[in-house]
Amino acid sequence: MSDIDFRRKINWHRRFRSPEGEKSEHEILRIFESDRGRIINSPAIRRLQQKTQVFPLERNAAVRTRLTHSLEVQQVGRYIAREVLSRLKEQNLLARYGLETLTGPFESIVEMACLMHDIGNPPFGHFGEAAINDWFRQRLRPDAACGDAQEDFHCGIATLRLKEGDDALNTLRCKVRQDLCHFEGNAQGIRLVHTLLRLNLTWAQVGCILKYTRPAWDAQTPPASCRYLMKKPGFYFSEEHYIARLRSELELGDYCRFPLTWIMEAADDISYCVADLEDAVEKNIFTVEQLYHHLCARWGQHCQGDLFSQVVLDAWEKSRANNMRRSAEDQFFMYLRVNTLNKLVPYAAQRFIDNIKPVFDGSFNQALLEDDSPASRLLDLYKQVAMQHVFNHPDVEQLELQGYRVISGLLDIYSPLLMLPLADFQQMVSEGGVRHLPIETRLYHKLSSSHCLAYKEAVDKLSCSNPHYEVMEFYYRCRLIQDYISGMTDLYAWDEYRRLMAVA
């Protein structure tokens, strides 16, 4: 019996109301079909249609949103998953690895993880993340939380300020401050599916979107053996116990990843690299001819038969020679996309198989398309050209700065709710408002009911007599505001900011 048995990883049980007893192949597949339905019909997926991929507030429907990007990632993920399973079948390894009756769930888990991979992203993408983190860092000063209590006078929240002789509570204060200042889209995705949307997905399906394994409150330098897996926060303090249970159910060691997450990650890398360049041409940031010259210049000398010639040069020559009525632009990107997929998908699948032991264990400390191969070099080529000529373009930078200002401004607007004394905020929650606090009451009324419910349930589990109560209540209050603002679409955030700032 192989020590690689995917039946131990493709866990079809759920946190609540889990199926019981032995299940047939068909019954297990139906369980994962239920996951698909829960995910596809969730509001978080629908909101992706008005969230930024590269170009915020874009009105041109031909330019990708997070939703269209996620659909493309889903397709590439399915392609890689099928390639892995096909190659394992050819080598008569499906039964040995416990996959003979789990090919359907294997493919479905990857597809749905790909569809969900961006659901935690805030408005305006990475600039939205930066705005949230900068705003909280300026007020909580997490770096000062690791020093002497006597020096911790910069934190703007008295409840979270370190106090001499209060070591146990100071440890919690430090943890909370670090956690709140490390908002991250992947960690928010975990919070969405479990705490906010309560999708009650299978353990395997949630495990596949746990892309990074570092807790958001962990400020230590990751060990070298896990540096890649821990390069970003993967989950928050609020989901700590849930993630501990997830690790147990999926037999994941500390800081280890679910095996199929590597496929989801590779699908995302392949998809966005070509898509960002195509969208830039659609936005007239450069022409196809200019893009081709950018790619040639960045790659350097190429020769017949190398990967650049097989993918980029081939796409260029076919798009020029084709007499069909479709534009040369469309032809170029069609061939570039097909060529890229036909080279990188099999390579990613084979890397998964070649490293199946550390991948299965969850300890493989790099991406499938991150090595010294020509495939990795090609992917890096696309990323570098996009970074130099797309993300640094003045129009893109201006939109990102506007997005940063919108998110920072919304946090300023809702900050009175964070400044309220504990008793006033609790009265507001229990009674729906406080008469002598008209501004705060109206702000509270604008919050999402599902987010408010998550706050109430978390605080209700705390004991009022526990010395941790005030710290944890404030922590969940901050989470409430972060949940609400990060859940907005780009357009809603823009409109909300203009309305509340009384901008015509």
Q: How far apart are the first and last CA of the chain?
A: 69
Q: What is the DSSP letter of 145?
A: G
Is residue 389 within 8 A of residue 283, CB to CB? The reply is no
Is residue 485 within 8 A of residue 414, CB to CB? The reply is yes
Q: Using DSSP, state whether 160 is helix, strand or coil.
A: helix
Kind plus residue range of the DSSP H or E element containing 292: helix 288-299
DSSP codes joined into one string, 214-244 = EETT--SPPPGGGTTTTSSEEE-GGGHHHHH
Categorise residue 202: left if φ over 0, alpha if ψ from -120 to 50, beta otherwise: beta
The CA-based angle 458-461-467, given to 5 degrees, is 100
Catalytic, 117? Answer: yes
Is residue 348 within 8 A of residue 368, CB to CB? The reply is yes
Exactly one of 442, 445, 495, 498 is catalytic; which is it?
A: 442
Amino acid identity of 305? Answer: G
Exactly one of 69, 161, 194, 257 is catalytic; which is it?
A: 69
Beta-carbon count within 10 A of 289 CB: 14
Amino acid identity of 131? Answer: A
Exactly one of 35, 118, 179, 483 is catalytic; which is it?
A: 118
Catalytic, 69? Answer: yes
Please give the structure tokens belonging to residue 12: 């079809």
Measured between alpha carbons, how far is residue 255 from residues 84, 185, 245, 282, 363 in Å? 25, 18, 14, 41, 8
Distance in angstroms (rounded) separating the CA atoms of residues 82 and 112? 14
Is residue 177 within 8 A of residue 140, CB to CB? The reply is yes
Q: Using DSSP, state whether 52 is helix, strand or coil.
A: strand
Exactly one of 47, 117, 173, 214 is catalytic; which is it?
A: 117
Please give the structure tokens belonging to residue 440: 């705060």
Which residues are tagged catalytic?
A: 69, 117-118, 268, 442
